[in-house]
Amino acid sequence: MSADATPVSGPQCVLAVCADDFGLTPAISRGIAQLAQLGRLTAISCLTNGQHWPGSAPMLTDLPIGVDRGLHFNLTEGVPLSEELRRRWPRLPALHGLILRAHLGRLPLREIACEWRAQFRAFSEQVGAPPRFVDGHQHVHHLPGIREVVLEHVTAGPAGVAVRNTGHMLGPGNSLKRCLIERTGGRQLQRLLLAAGIAHNRALLGAYDFKEQDYRGRMQRWLAAAPSHGGLLFCHPAASAVASPDADANDPIAPARLREAAYLGSTPFVEDLAAAGIGLGRAWLTTQSV
């Protein structure tokens, strides 16, 4: 990673910064790759069931050492990759519908397992290696039934794959959103990760409503809330869609993505890390998360 990725000597804590949604659109992938090259990210979470994934994957080559590449398991955006799930769901459901079906025990789990294998395989084929970690688009990997599918395959699959823990959410404001993430399945996932000894982040930061204009101010408060034992902060940056201005027209958080990218690529981000006594690095541990 670049010299400014760890801007302090002997930081008080180490924080992983993971950009989600790589592969969703060319502008998102380009913006994330640019930030990784600057040393501002330690992880990239990849969405592999969309049409832009094969064209975006080459951007993941020749990244700085220490940038983990992971699978952003997607069950709410676009079309299933597997034929088995497409027969049940020609298009993936909205998040609220998926949450309801999961908690009512009405998910087609056999077909979801096929979709997991298809998305995992699409990642491995394009990257040339299995993912270093897995998580879920809109945190779907922690929902009842889905988390069991994920953990079964992580346990039986390649060694050393970590899982994003959503059971210990920290940060300023948006307490309802943090509570919903924890209580829709995050806490249960955390217990299973600890019981199985699967590597995961101790704490998670980064949840907000994407409406706040002052992303730097929000980040400063997240950094202040980061525990001494470290954690993972997730973000959703993107570059401007210069080549195709309409590419992000249907993306409800497109303006927030641009704000995040502008700040994460700036000198003030490095200054804020130094002021908070935080260095960037990996967050995957197997010890107690709270």
pLDDT given at position 286: 83
Domains delineated in the chain: 3-280 (3.20.20.370)
pLDDT score at 8: 38
Q: Does the structure show a pLDDT above 70 at 89?
A: yes
pLDDT per residue over 108-159, tens digit each? 999 999 999 999 999 999 999 999 999 999 999 999 999 999 999 999 999 9
Q: Stretch 97-104: mean pLDDT, rounded?
A: 98
Q: At residue 264, what is the residue type?
A: L
7 band by pLDDT with thresholds 50, 70 and 90:
very low
Residue 11's pLDDT is 60
Task: Tell me the pLDDT tens digit for each residue of 250-285.
Answer: 789 999 999 999 999 999 999 999 999 999 999 999
Look up residue 121 and give its amino acid: R
Residue 249 pLDDT level (bands cut at 50, 70, 90)? low
Distance of alpha carbon 275 from alpha carbon 270, whole angstroms: 9
In single-letter form, the type of residue at position 118 comes to A
Q: pLDDT higher for 4 or 162?
A: 162
170-180: average pLDDT: 87
Q: What is the pLDDT of residue 248?
A: 56
Determine the 3-state secondary structure of 66 from DSSP.
Answer: coil
pLDDT at residue 33 greater than cutoff 70? yes
Mean pLDDT taken over the chain:
92
Phi and psi (nearest 5°) for 165? -90, 125
pLDDT score recorded for residue 175? 85
Which of 20, 21, 248, 251 is catalytic? The answer is 20
By the 8 A CB rule, do 151 and 198 touch? yes
Could you tell me which residue, 253 or 12, shows the higher pLDDT?
253
Whether residue 20 lies in the annotated active site: yes
Residue 10: pLDDT band (50, 70, 90) is: low
pLDDT at 246 over 70: no
DSSP codes of every residue in 86-114: HHH-SSPPPHHHHHHHHHTT---HHHHHH
For residue range 111-125, what is the model confidence (pLDDT) as tens digits? 999 999 999 999 999
202/164 Cα distance (integer angstroms) = 9
